[in-house]
């Protein structure tokens, strides 16, 4: 049974590793998308570019075309990956990358929870197995004590009989007194 639990734990760990790699790739995709949007004026919204052009400033990453990124902690309230932002594909590669990242983080969290629950289950199984083994050993020790007690009684009886025999032999070998 423990090999099945260990195998399940290894499978969960491999899945968790895969989700972690996906999360890292998605985070990298977010950075690449941000770089693309910040470095390519054609991707800036025309309203932001016009407003920035009239003020003589460069558009920032806080423009309407690029909604602010959320940290992984903000995804905790929404593990399904949905958010207040637009659906993937409607806001460009950055929104797609954010959606992919949120999905990867949610899958990674689920994987971590599964590994944790497997470890707890395995721990409780080991405790039950240990308890069963302890009870079995205590029963065996009790039966051995009873057997030793029985053997000690037999040895005492044999010693008493040997003493009586030695006494009898001593009496037979001694000269009779008249």
pLDDT level of residue 108 (50, 70, 90 thresholds): confident
Q: What is the pLDDT of residues 45-74, one digit of tens each?
A: 654 555 555 555 444 444 444 444 444 444
Task: State the Cα–Cα distance between residues 31 and 24, nearest whole angstrom.
Answer: 11
Torsion of CA 36, 37, 42, 46, to 10 degrees: 180
For residues 156 and 4, what is the distance between their CA atoms, to the nearest angstrom? 53
* Cβ atoms of 42 and 58 closer than 8 Å: no
| 3-state helix, strand and coil shares in percent for the chain, rounded to the nearest 5 | 80, 0, 20
pLDDT at 149: 93
Please state, as a whole number, how many other Cβ atoms lie within 10 Å of the Cβ of residue 177. 4
Classified as helix, coil or strand, 130 is: helix
Domain spans, the chain: 2-128
**Taking Cα atoms as reference points, which of 155, 72, 54 lies closest to residue 108?**
72
pLDDT of 3 higher than 50: yes
Residue in the structure block whose two tokens are 């637009």: 86
Which of 10-19, 87-96, 113-122, 160-169 bottoms out in mean pLDDT, i.e. has the lowest? Answer: 87-96
Query: For residues 97 and 33, is the Cβ–Cβ distance under 8 A?
Result: yes
Tell me if 94 sits within 8 A of 66, measured CB to CB.
yes
Output the pLDDT for position 80: 40
């Amino acid at each position: 049974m423990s090999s099945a639990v260990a195998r399940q734990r290894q499978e969960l760990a491999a899945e968790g590793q895969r989700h972690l790699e996906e999360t890292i790739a998605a985070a990298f995709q977010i950075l690449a998308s941000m770089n693309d949007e910040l470095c390519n004026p054609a991707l800036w919204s025309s309203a932001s570019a016009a407003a920035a052009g009239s003020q003589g400033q460069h558009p920032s990453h806080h423009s309407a075309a690029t909604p602010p990124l959320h940290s992984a902690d903000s995804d905790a309230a929404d593990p399904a990956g949905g958010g207040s932002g637009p659906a993937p594909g409607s806001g460009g590669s950055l929104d797609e990358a954010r959606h992919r990242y949120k999905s990867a983080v949610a899958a990674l969290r689920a994987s971590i929870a599964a590994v944790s629950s497997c470890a707890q289950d395995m721990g409780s199984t080991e405790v039950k197995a240990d308890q069963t083994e302890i009870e079995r050993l205590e029963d065996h020790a009790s039966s051995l004590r009873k057997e030793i007690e029985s053997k000690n009684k037999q040895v005492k009886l044999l010693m008493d009989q040997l003493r009586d025999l030695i006494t009898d032999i001593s009496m037979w070998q001694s000269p009779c007194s008249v």
